Structure 1
């Protein structure tokens, strides 16, 4: 299912992958985030995704005209996790609503690991 925006000229359909890319790009602009990991851990191992695969660390669910997002992130060691998560939520919500005109219902942050960023 894709996000739909209706106006007087017709409908605009936004694919889940586009929403995932917007969300991942917006969150990488936040201080304290190292990167993304896969949506599920395999035997407790966490793999840092490369820039071209970042949207694999984002799960998007669309219901009517609202979007729910779940991000699987790796945070920089030494930063306060709650502050980084709040910044990510604020940035992703603002960017998605501005770029797509879809309402963000909720954003969940799953911290998959902590890493020393060199």
Structure 2
């Protein structure tokens, strides 16, 4: 899936993988986010993804009119307010992804897959 923008100089095409990588890097910088999660549907196991594979915890949807929908599967830090972390994540990602791509972010869904104690 790709987003396309027409300019006077030509067409700009942005791949969803690029958006996922950027959104993932913004997300892990947010307070209270330990990292992205990968869920094994067969076993029901959740594992923390390494920084190189953040995109596996994010699904990107781009509509025909170039509006972005993001699904984050995250692991949060123990003892933080999940709603505060989610609000912070949504506002940071929405702003930075729009500035990065030039495409509006319509919806951000956050799935908290686990909680981890941080030393």
TM-score range, shorter chain: over 0.9
- Report the alpha carbon displacement of residue 39 of structure 1 after superposing the two structures with TM: 5.2
- Report the alpha carbon displacement of residue 43 of structure 1 after superposing the two structures with TM: 2.7
Tell me which residue corresponds to 1:74.
75
Unmatched tracts of structure 2, length 5 or more: none
Structure number with the higher strand fraction is 2
The list of structure 1 runs, each at least 4 consecutive aligned residues, that deviate by more than 2 angstroms after superposition, is 39-44
RMSD: 1.1
Tell me which residue corresponds to 2:55.
55
Query: Which secondary structure state, in structure 2, belongs to the residue aligned with residue 70 of structure 1?
Result: strand
Give the Cα separation in 1 of the matches to 2:70 and 2:45: 23
Unmatched tracts of structure 1, length 5 or more: none
CA contact (8 A) 2:39 2:46 kept: no
Say yes or no: does 1:106 pair with 2:107.
Answer: yes
- Report the alpha carbon displacement of residue 29 of structure 1 after superposing the two structures with TM: 1.1
State how many pairs are aligned: 118
CA contact (8 A) 2:33 2:74 kept: yes
Q: How does 1:37-56 map to 2 (within 5 A)?
A: 37-38=37-38, 41-56=41-56
Question: Cα–Cα, structure 1 residues 81 and 95, in superposed 2: closer, same or farther, change >3 Å?
Answer: same
CA contact (8 A) 1:66 1:103 kept: yes
Moved more, 15-24 or 43-52: 43-52
Tell me which residue corresponds to 1:89.
90
